[in-house]
Amino acid sequence: MLRRLVAIVGATGTGKSAAALELAQRLGGEIVNADSRQVYRGMDIGTAKPTPAERRLVRHHLYDIRDPREGYSLAEYRADARAAFEAIWARGSFPWLVGGTPQYAWAILENWQVPAVPPDPGLRAALQAFADAAGPAALHARLAAVDPASAARIDPRNVRRVIRALEVYEKTGRPISAWQQKGAPDFEYLLFAIDVPRRELYRRVDERVERMFAAGLVDEVRALLDAGVPPDAPAMSSIGYAETVAFLQGRLTLADAIERTKRATHRLVRSQEQWFRRDDPRITWVRDVDDIDLQVNIFTGACTNVIRGERR
C-alpha cells in the first residue's frame, strides 16, 4: 500500500480549496480538511467551507464533524486525520491535506507528539477572567515565565492559544512546547503553497469579507446563537464570528464589524506566512494549479525520484 500524501497549505484567500478540488477531480484522491474552523457544523459562510455540491464531486473528510458548542483539540484533530488517511490509503487512493491552520498541517507533516489534555472549563474561565482584568499582555507574561518557547511563538493577543498553553502546563507540569516534539512521518509527501503577492492577497481577503457579509454571515451567526451556542464558545472566537457577535450585541456597527474582520484577516495572513516560509525547502511555491499537476501525477504513480517530503 502506497502511503503518500499531497498537502496544499498557505495563507487565507490564496485559493487552496479551489485548487485541491480541481486537482482531485483531475488526478484522483480525497480531500482532508486542515482548517480548525471548518470542522464546526453551521459555520459555513464565515469559514468559506466547501459547499455541499463541491463535496459531492470529491470525497471530503473532517468537515462538519463537531458541534460549535464543543471544543476540538489538536490531539483530537491529529487522531481524526490519521484515521482518515488510513482509510484513504486502504482504498488505494491518497489524501489531499488542505487548509490554512498551520498547527494542523505541521502536526501531521512533522508528526508532532501532541498532549492529550482535555479542556478544563473552570481553569479556562479563571485564566480568561485574569486576561480580562489584567490584560492579554499580563496573561502572556505568565506563559513566558513557565514556557518561554511557546510564548515566543504565540501572539499575546491570541488569548485562546495562551490559555491552552497554560492549561497544558497546569495539568501536566510540562510546557506544551516540551510535549510538541517532532517525529518522522510514516508516509511520503509533497507540500505546495500558492504564491499570491501580499497586496493582491489583501485585496482578495477584503473582497471575500464583503461577500461573506453580503451572503448572510450575520444571519448565520444569529442562528448559531439562537441554537444555544454561547457567544464566548471557542468556535465563536473565529475571525468574522467574534466581530458579528459584537455587532449583534450592539457593541459595533455593521460597518465597523466588517472593517475589523478585514483587519483581523490581514493579521492572520501575516501569521500564516510566518509558519509557511518561502525559504522552507520542503515547500514548493506555485502560481497555478498546472504547476502542481505534473509533480503530483508522477508522485502518486510509480516514480519516486521527485519526492520532496523527507523522512526526518
Please give the annotated binding residues for substrate, written as ranges.
12-17
3-state secondary structure of 9: strand
CB 38 within 8 A of CB 240: no
User: Which stretches within the chain are classed as H helix?
Assistant: 16-27, 52-57, 74-90, 102-109, 121-134, 136-146, 148-153, 159-172, 176-179, 198-214, 217-226, 241-248, 254-275, 290-299
- Cα–Cα distance measured from residue 102 to residue 109, given in angstroms and rounded to the nearest whole number: 10
122 burial type by CB count under 10 A (0-12 exposed, 13-18 middle, 19+ buried): exposed
Grid cell, residue 278, equals: 518561502
72 burial type by CB count under 10 A (0-12 exposed, 13-18 middle, 19+ buried): buried
Binding-site annotation: residue ranges = 10-17
CB 141 within 8 A of CB 94: no
3-state secondary structure of 299: helix
173-206 in b/e form (b: 16+ CB < 10 A) is eebbbbbbeeeebebbbbbbbbebeeeebbebbb
- Kind and range of the H or E run holding 98: strand 95-98
- Cα–Cα distance measured from residue 260 to residue 201, given in angstroms and rounded to the nearest whole number: 17
Binding-site annotation: residue ranges for ATP = 10-17
